[in-house]
Structure 1
Amino acid sequence: MNSSGQAYPLASLYVGDLHSDVTEAMLYQKFSPAGPIMSIRVCRDIITRRSLGYAYINFQQPADAECALDTMNYDVIKGRPIRIMWSQRDPGLRKSGVGNIFIKNMDESIDNKALYDTFSAFGNILSCKVVCDEKGSKGYGFVHFETHEAANRAIGTMNGMLLNDRKVFVGHFKSRKEREVEFGNKAMKFTNVYIKNFGEDYTDEKLMEVFTAFGRTLSVRVMKDERGRSRGFGFVNYANHEDAQKAVNEMNGKEINGKIIYVGRAQKRLERQGELKRKFDQIKQDRIQRYQGVNLYVKNLDDSIDDERLRKEFAPYGTITSAKVMTDGSQSKGFGFVCFSSPEEATKAVTEMNGRIVATKPLYVALAQRREERKAILTNKYMQRLATLRTMTSPIIDSYQQAGYYMTVPQVVPAPVMEQPVHIQGHEPLTASMLASAPLMDQKQLLGERLYPVIHALHPNLAGKITGMLLEIDNSELLHMLETPESLHSKVDEAIAVLQAHQAKECSPKK
């Protein structure tokens, strides 16, 4: 039985906020004094096997699990207070929101334990969390009680009370959707009206003369600059919503003083920013959905290829909605985009056109990806290789060699800035025909021998890792990178960003 008199079918605990170095053995040593343990599992990343910062502990007896929860919650392991909850595997209960409350305006000194200790008097707590960032508490948190009644008791007692000399707000948790609906309902009852574009010679009196025709006003104000001149906009606050709505309906788009004015519901800055962000995000998502699987990225274009020629080359594979060669002024940048009307057409074009020589160069053709997608793919490949290396028994000499691409490193030609295609000392320029004629197993070797010296000249300490990462890219794109220093620089920069992000993740403490 738990403290509220209800039985749990399983004696399972969730243990969170763990340091990444905490192991099952450490947890067993910590929790075994509470009673016999059936199993312990630290949850880990499927690729890197790094701890995700939480674990599950199954006791033989519910009473022992409850003892551990009551006596060990927020104890410190490896410098961090652990957070223990009943393992609630029913997603319906977790997502229902029943018993979940929101606390804000908390003093920054209040941590998880203090919040738990404060609210545990009102009933059994399923979870408790102070929201933090890298600087510490953000001043708000959540407590999820087992029952709605316990949540009501906490709200009734604690809302408006002082905690560490700060008056806190405590209320039922509301989802974003619920908050937006509630806010929308309030917005429909507006009384404050925003008017703009009426010019510089309008005063409070003139504005009042126009807008009092629609009902009783509580205030009228023309906004002025530091010299006292009208800034061309102002506000009228009505006593009744119906009058404000009538003013908007009848005056928006009307002409005043030779100008077409705008009249609408007044919004706070945060509301306007939120609305603009939602519109922008929706436009972005619509664009992504519209071009998903139908937009092709084409590079290594000959300088003579323009929009019309690009469209003509890809026309046999389907209906093209757009074809564009990217330019710097009038000069081609060597790449462009072709958008088809269906994914099937785009797939066929990739299969047929990738590697085909148009004019003087072999094309690289692939589905267009956003920068975030390319970075995520590069990160995933790097993490997979890292996981593979950790399982190897041989010493790690160089991640480029360990990836399977063994080579004799040629003499490095210093190249701090590349403006011309790469020619490496001791190697003739690598062409598409040379690469195609080489055995499949040797093609990466040939590419690596050209890439490594150039990357070494730019980043000596990371040349092996970066080369190994880039060799995961399609051969035709690698060939293009050797011919186009700007493209190689861009890919090297992406690889550096991935390595830095991974290093930062490795070094940062888990919260």
Structure 2
Amino acid sequence: KGYGSGGKVTHANVFIGSLAEGTSEATLKDAFSPYGMIKSCYVRNKGDQTYGFCEFNTVSEAEAAIAGMAGKNDWVVKFANNDAWDDEVPHSNVYIGNMTEGTTEASLRATCGTYGTVESCTVKTDTETGKNYGFVKFSTQAAASRAIAALNGNDGWTVKAANNDTGGGGGKGWGGKGGWSDGWVWQPGPSTRNDDSRPEGPPSDNLYVKDLPPGITEDEVFAAFSKVGQVVDCYVLRWDNLSACAALVRMASTEQATRAKSQLSGTIHESCFGPISVKNQEKNGEKLEDHVYVKGIHCTTSEDQLRSIFGKYGTVMWCRILPLPFRAGAGSSSVPDVAALVQFASPEEATTAISAMDGKVATEFGAPMVVRFAEEKANAKRPAPTPNNNLYVKGWPVGFPEFLLQSEFQKCGNVVRLRLLDNPDPEYPTCAALVQMSRVEEATMAVTALHGRPLQVPLPPMRVKFAGKDQGADNSNLYVTSLPRTMTESQIRQSFSKFGEIERLKLLTQQGKPETHALVQLSSPQAAAAAIRELDGSTPAFKG
């Protein structure tokens, strides 16, 4: 299934048909591994037919495999239909019961890893029966389906889709707030007023922030709190990219932390903001004059918010946030927007709402964050740091050369040595560095001048072309490359919005590479052609 009409597919799953009877998974891996990293490989038999699936790490690797292997050995090699296993289970969490004694998390992960990427794995023992059971969360529903089909009944195991989606539903993430329910509609956690039995800590410079939107980055949290004071440190606590997040934020003083708590608690983080589309709903080709269809609202928006905001323009008879027709894959770097339906008491009220809201940036949709003083750990007294000439730097974009960072610090003095540190998480867009200045005074000057400040560094030109094989006049999909890893969707929108409405936008992380790609679908082929003419080879909008 394509990204849009004429666009690229958005998965990396390859179907291999017309396999000879007895073809093994090892044979497929040997044949396809030269084209990229294979996340999973599986062979199925149906009647007298043998076929298989290979899931690559990136779409480009899958494309290379198709181009290189199509027709060889008389095999049929093509993109799978959005992974033939995707719809066989409702989510990617698997329950395994009746496991043999001695089964460990390592052995369970190894067994299940044959069928796809395992994100988490837990083994438990039933205290009443003494039997082992476990839960495995895969990165995709397709991988979960393959594991269930292959393992259920083997060695007496009971393998099935877990009753609850433990990866993100029911507030099981860090901070205990929110997740995706059946039908893939965001479900907020319980009311934040009385849900914490743990006491708030005494006033200090340390803050605990919860109900942050899923997928939020440390840079985004840092930017929000920097508006009310100096942020010394920030760390995001996350379960996955689909659950609500929490964060630990350390301000420069108790007074600044108190001000941040007062001004930010109960507000919606700006990463939830974005332009929305509000139009009359159409049903069976007919326009419903008193109904409006709202598109582009943040996934954490509640129906109470929807009713309150649209209630400014008339009497809301009913409203509903629509479930996504798919589940956003775990590990996805972006959280999808959602749509909603609102019925007014009259067509005139609906028209007023459309006129007031269509195309506007919505700042009232999304889960309000809660800011409180962090609990004090017993006997935890943090010693004051002693000024010295060694500095620790974080937030430097992956892929940007170290000489650019060194040039910034040389403005404050002599740099004795500088070393970029490898990021243990290949998905994370920034890395850290160690910098040694020649004198303590120069290091102190660098901290004062650079901490929390955006660095404007030169960027390579981005490349913009039509997506897919269709490079003709009927293609409205664009493929954008040479973007920095820290590029956000809002910054890409800033570059492309001048060419009209953006129908669809998706960031594509290139694992192991220092750049990001993007798919952008504009409203018409003419708009796409204009964007190519003006933006190809230009510098993208980038906050630094």
With structure 1 as the length reference, what TM-score do the two structures score?
0.25
Higher RCO (CA-CA < 8 Å; seq separation 6+): 2
> Greater Rg, structure 1 or structure 2?
1
Greater helix percent: which structure?
1
